[in-house]
Amino acid sequence: MNTHDTSNSTGPRKDSLFKKYENLTVLSIFVSFVVIVVALQLITTGGSRFPTFISPVNIFNILQQVAVPGIIAVGMTMVMISGGIDLSVGMLASLVSIVVALGISEWGLGVGPAILLGVVSAVILETMMGFIISRTRIEPFIITLGGMISFQGIALLLCNSREVVMKGELSFLTTNLIDGAKDPVTGLALRLPPYVLLFFAIALIGGLTLKFTKFGRRIYAVGTNQRAAFLSGIDVKTMRLAVYTIQGLLVGIGATLLLARINTGIITLGQNLEIDTIAMVVIGGTALSGGRGNIVGTLIGVLFLGSIANAMNMLRLPSEVQFLAKGLVVIIAVSAGDISSRISEFRALKRAQVDAQAAAADRMKGGGPAQGGAQTDMQKSSV
């Protein structure tokens, strides 16, 4: 019998390349990332001699700039894969930085306990939001929006709406691990603080957790189909809660590092952090609807957005223009994936139409031997 025919009717359907290969999304983002980097290199090199975009010193610069948003983006990736979102990370980071700064410079807690206090409060606050989100049907958007506003209030109350200046107690977090290393081209000093390595470590752990642990698998399952996950024995509430707890830990760490860099606890420290991290995660191919995405994509998204911001700084573009450019990047990155999958869907439809016409023509000639055969087979097995 015509085996080709049967495999066509019951086997896999033609699908968009993007849906078929999730890695392709990441790959396409990576390719456009490389294209943009090369373009930026050409633009920034034109005219002035240095510093150019692709130079060791600037790459280390970018890494320092993206490390903190990158750490938080890892947590955001998990939250979004589980089907949630977290708008509160920016204000929570500000709050933590103020708590740690106050702890060190006013409450006399000492560096270690102050950091611990800051991180623990972030974990507790995120866990509380996660508790509400996992136990009710209220949108995570609303709960974390409320969280964002309340955290801002708490932070402003704590610092009396003023900034908390420190005396560099956290400078151990920003020490240069490669002191003395020089850029071979420009001769400028290279900086590699420990938190950049911490960012890569956290990204690695996050990526491995999502891919190789039961916990990670369950996050995907919950984000893909909550009801099916529940009926498959997954504790949906616990999973939805856990991603926020992890997010709290990462925001706590990120905020401490941010404080170490700026040396001042201030409400504007975490401003727009939620927008930047969500943008990074979305550029990295994670679906807002949950169930899809990975850390590799997020990593590229982080570097992507970070590079663009860096390049625009080098080009001395005003911050107003930078906002516009970042916004366009998000829109283009996300719609590019959708447009290309629509194109392949359209092609698949065309192909199906051609196939159907051919099949119809066959039937006119031969009276559909394949179908008739299948039916007699079935009757045989039923009797």
Partner 1 sequence: MDEILRLSQISKTFPGVRALQDISFDLRRGEVHCLCGENGAGKSTLIKILSGAYQPDEGGRIFFNGAEVSLTPRTALEMGIHTIYQEHIVFDALDITENIFVGAEIARWGIPQRKQMREQTERVLRYLKSDLSPDMRMSDLTSGQQKIVEIAKALVFRSNVIILDEPTASFSSQEIETVLDIVKTLKEDGIGIIYISHHLDEVFEVGDRATVIRDGQKVSTYPIAGLSKSTLIKDMVGRDPSTFYKRERIARGEVALDVRNVTGNGVRDISFKLHRGEVLGIAGMVGSGRSELMELLFGAAPLVYGDILIDGRSVRHGSPKDAIRNKMCFITEDRQNTGLFLTKTIAENVAVANMVNTRDFLVRPADEFAVGETYRKLLTIKAPSARTRAVNLSGGNQQKVVLGKWFNTGGEIFIFDEPSHGVDVGSKQEIYKIMVDLLKEDKAILMVSSDMPEVISMSDRVLVFRRGEVAGELVGEKITEENILTLSIGGQKE
Positions touching partner 1 (CB under 8 A) are 7, 9-13, 15, 19-20, 211-218, 220-221, 224-225, 227-235, 291-292, 374, 377-378, 381-383
Residue position matching structure tokens 């039961």: 214
**DSSP at 164:** E
CB within 8 Å of 372: residues ≥ 6 apart? none
Least distance to partner 1 from the beta carbon of 211, Å? 7
Least distance to partner 1 from the beta carbon of 12, Å? 4
Q: CA-to-CA distance for 207 and 205, rounded, in angstroms?
A: 5
Residue 372 DSSP SS3? helix
Question: Is the distance from CB of 218 to CB of 239 less than 8 angstroms?
Answer: yes
Least distance to partner 1 from the beta carbon of 140, Å? 20
User: Nearest Cα to 256, choosing from 267, 265, 246?
Assistant: 265
Residue 12 DSSP SS3? coil
Least distance to partner 1 from the beta carbon of 29, Å? 18
Q: Tell me how crowded residue 92 is: count the other CB atoms within 10 A of its CB.
A: 34
User: Nearest Cα to 298, choosing from 204, 195, 196?
Assistant: 204
- Pick between residue 216 and residue 284 the one whose CB is nearest to partner 1: 216
- Pick between residue 24 and residue 188 the one whose CB is nearest to partner 1: 24
Name beta bridge partners: 164.
265
- Pick between residue 18 and residue 53 the one whose CB is nearest to partner 1: 18
Q: CA-to-CA distance for 32 and 250, rounded, in angstroms?
A: 29
Least distance to partner 1 from the beta carbon of 17, Å? 13
- Pick between residue 160 and residue 382 the one whose CB is nearest to partner 1: 382
Q: CA-to-CA distance for 117 and 49, rounded, in angstroms?
A: 47
Q: CA-to-CA distance for 62 and 187, rounded, in angstroms?
A: 18
- Pick between residue 179 and residue 377 the one whose CB is nearest to partner 1: 377
Least distance to partner 1 from the beta carbon of 25, Å? 12
Least distance to partner 1 from the beta carbon of 364, Å? 18
Least distance to partner 1 from the beta carbon of 82, Å? 13
Q: CA-to-CA distance for 276 and 70, rounded, in angstroms?
A: 9
Name the burial class of residue 374, with classes exposed (0-12), middle (13-18) and buried (19+) by CB atoms within 10 angstroms of its CB. middle
Tokens standing for 192? 């590699």
- Pick between residue 222 and residue 258 the one whose CB is nearest to partner 1: 222
**DSSP at 197:** H
Q: CA-to-CA distance for 2 and 48, rounded, in angstroms?
A: 68
Residue 18 DSSP SS3? helix
- Pick between residue 28 and residue 217 the one whose CB is nearest to partner 1: 217
Least distance to partner 1 from the beta carbon of 356, Å? 12
- Pick between residue 10 and residue 48 the one whose CB is nearest to partner 1: 10
- Pick between residue 292 and residue 326 the one whose CB is nearest to partner 1: 292
Question: Is the distance from CB of 274 to CB of 88 less than 8 angstroms?
Answer: yes
